[in-house]
Amino acid sequence: MKNGKHLCTVGSDDVWMFSARVWGELWGPEVSFLDVSGGGKHRNNGENDFLIWEMPHELVKGDCIAFFFEDGSESSPKGQLFDPSALETEQPKIDISVPPTDKDVVKLESRPSLNADLTWSFKINQGPYTLVAPDKVRQHVSLHVLWNEERPQRLRVNLSRSSLREIVGRTGGEELFLEYIPLGSSFEVAVVL
């Protein structure tokens, strides 16, 4: 749910796995984003479709995203099939190597902080609120939710902060919360005003 209104439901009849992610960073200009996507059920040939519910869904200050992990088989709305031809054909020119060099990282780190006051509040079940914010050392905050049909009774929830260097180097970051939560659990992340 977003701000108390239904945004989407991902049901187990439609996917073998799904992922939801809320993320934001100091540089902006957008405050935060929500992505919800999944892998459709495997066909007889072993292939599956990439489905999208929200990607990217921009969040502003005051927005609250609430997650409810419940029994349910039907998606509402149905996930949209990813269509690569719908992508913008003209991408903005970015003068960065792939993978980024150390010089590229320094350049990216030197951008102005447009979201210097970015703060989230995070709460799971009836627990207390925890405030989370990026800083000059770890500029990126992320809530990552993961489910798959191999262990349908649990949902992985990970709240973390990472630096650009940790993201580029795939070395992890600072885990603030990491648990496998059972059915019946709920949690929320809000962008603080």
Residue 83: pLDDT over 90: no
Q: What is the dihedral of CA 151, 155, 159, 162, to 10 degrees?
A: 30
Q: Which pLDDT belongs to residue 94?
A: 62
Q: In this structure, are strands 50-59 and 64-68 parallel, antiparallel, or unpaired? A: unpaired
Q: Where are the domains of the chain?
A: 15-82+91-191
CB atoms within 10 A of CB 170: 8
Residue 149 φ/ψ, nearest 5 degrees: -75, -10
Using alpha carbons, select from 118, 106, 100 the residue that is nearest to residue 25: 118
pLDDT per residue over 18-53, tens digit each?
999 999 999 999 999 999 999 999 999 989 999 999
Measure the CA–CA gap between 175 and 109, rounded to whole angstroms. 21
**Which residue's entry shows tokens 């992320």?**
142
Contacts of 128 (CB under 8 A, 6+ apart): none
The partner residues of 24 in beta bridges, in order of sequence, read 141
Q: Which pLDDT belongs to residue 22?
A: 98
The amino acid at 167: I
Cis peptide before 84 (omega within 30 of 0): no
Q: Which pLDDT belongs to residue 130?
A: 96
Q: Which pLDDT belongs to residue 88?
A: 60
Residue 90: pLDDT over 90: no
Q: Which pLDDT belongs to residue 89?
A: 54
pLDDT per residue over 14-23, tens digit each?
899 999 999 9
What whole-number percentage of the chain has pLDDT above 70?
95
**Which residue's entry shows tokens 């995203």?**
65
pLDDT tier, 169 (very low <50, low <70, confident <90, very high otherwise) = confident
CA distances from 46 to 40, 50, 54, 145 (A): 11, 13, 25, 24
pLDDT per residue over 173-185, tens digit each?
999 999 999 999 9
Residue 105: pLDDT over 80: yes
Measure the CA–CA gap between 151 and 66, rounded to whole angstroms. 22
